[in-house]
Chain A
């Protein structure tokens, strides 16, 4: 089965009893394994909300989201946490590493939550740090790493659990140009060589240029869904799904 995410008629309204804001409106979305997809759109278009719904961090008011065949909208809060741990990797905008742990320990944490044995953890950590090019920073604390390096560690942490896909919420927003390019190179490499599925929410043209599929959201609805895009995505995109 190559389908990773299958979302049907997903809607989410904030403040339903006061001033309702329809953040995500009747979205259908289908993602296959190995996709490198960017969710784009103006601020308030519903990118982060949709990402939260796909990541099981929030529940839709309507619709269903199947990940690897499991409807995550039907899972209990505890089961959902377990599901996230084993199936979804997260990369946040502001790195979000635990400051008291070293780079290695930040990555190990996920596998410790999965009750992996020490040997497996060590092997995985070494592999991941080799892939992100930070083998020499294993025992360094986040405060001693640059923003780009911290985000690379965050990517390693997201991949540590061997997830079905990685959700990255504006991963390059706080990075300089060089660091952003470096990070994108690493993620693109992991995507191509290891077939890891990445979904980004972003405003960054560098991410959009590298994405093989760009979904544009406007007012909570999918405005366009294109397989290959230019930098003027919202205006020139070709509609694929309603």
Chain B
């Protein structure tokens, strides 16, 4: 107890030095947490936008569909198949789709689009499509209206309740032509999705493509997305060779690659940050050792064991670093939550560059508590590691030499 008291008093012996160290750790922890939460937030948002909003975490197709995405590679959707997938532990939703590219036309304009036949409620349970509705109404199960993405509608100069014509190739080479009133306009975060998506109810799409009861995919919703790979593995085992179960990572390797590349560059930035924290702490420790060398020699001379002196130094370092760390963690909470609620948004040309690559130019932070704890713990561990310097110095301390002025 007296050792703790002495360490606490020693910590405030040189208030300026302690304040500088605490401030260094404080700002480093904030920066470190912000960098990490921004990194995770951006990737979470990216995955949410591009993966969860459309692809889903896992898709089930007929074997070979992903390599050759044509209507002839469809499979018949049955309730038995649906039930067997839904029976899996981590699966909490399933949405059938029939999708194919076609041409969408208004009066004088035509543009390629992705026509997706969906079961509106099931689709909504996975991709929250209803939330994307900007104008009009959502589809019902037997609807013969269409939901069109905002970008596509703008290009075709179509508005709510206008009529849209779809022309394409159907099942087994049949002509696919249909006329649909626009029932709602959708707005997607991803500009890619915003420029090409067109939704019909599943019966309407099956009729358009001449493929009754046929599906191109089941989109699988997961209760715990972190168990993605094990769930996909179980699904593959269960479905056999007739079907393929693909994770979003397998379907979108470019997104995975992008995340990896970005994480790599952030590791370098974080390395520099940690080095700065390290130099700050070691600088203080060096100053402290020079300042208190005489006193340490005296303490060993009068009978304080070096082990005790090492404990004292360690406690002082931990007190200082812990104070900076806790303050940094507390101060970062409102900043991280604020930036999560009101994310950084790029505008103008920079935003366009991001949008060209299919990403929203917004940068929310992640509020995952693990980030706060991990970064805090990392800084504490680093400080403890650096505290080995005074400990080694004390181990080699010669009281007579230390007390020579």
Contact = CB atoms under 8 A, between A and B. Distances in A.
Contact of B305 (A57, A82, A100): A82
Interface string A89-117: 01010101011110000001110111000
B174 interface: no
Contacts of B306: 77-78, 81
Contact of B2 (A52, A85, A99, A112): A112
Given A92-B403, A96-B294, 9 more contacts: A57-B399, A81-B303, A81-B306, A85-B302, A98-B295, A100-B12, A110-B302, A112-B2, A113-B304
Nearest to A56: B301
Contact of B298 (A82, A86, A92, A101): A92
A84 interface: yes
Interface in B267-313: 294-295, 298-306, 308
Interface residue SS majority, chain B = helix
A101 B304 CA distance: 16
B304 A81 contact: yes
A55 interface: yes
A99 B13 contact: yes
Nearest to B10: A100
Contacts of A108: 2
Interface string A101-138: 10000001110111000000000000000000000000
Nearest to B405: A94
A213 interface: no
A8 B308 CA distance: 33
B6 interface: yes
Nearest to B9: A100
B298 A96 contact: yes
A152 interface: no
Interface of A: 52, 55, 57-58, 77-78, 81-82, 84-86, 90, 92, 94, 96, 98-101, 108-110, 112-114, 157-158, 161
28 contacts: A58-B400, A77-B306, A78-B306, A81-B304, A81-B306, A82-B305, A84-B302, A84-B303, A85-B304, A90-B301, A92-B403, A96-B295, A96-B298, A98-B6, A99-B13, A100-B6, A100-B9, A100-B10, A100-B12, A108-B2, A109-B304, A110-B302, A110-B303, A112-B2, A113-B304, A113-B308, A114-B303, A161-B303
Nearest to B401: A58
Interface residues of B, number: 22
Contacts of A77: 306
A94 B10 CA distance: 20
Contacts of A109: 2, 6, 304
A202 B290 CA distance: 28
Contact of A52 (B302, B304, B400, B405): B400
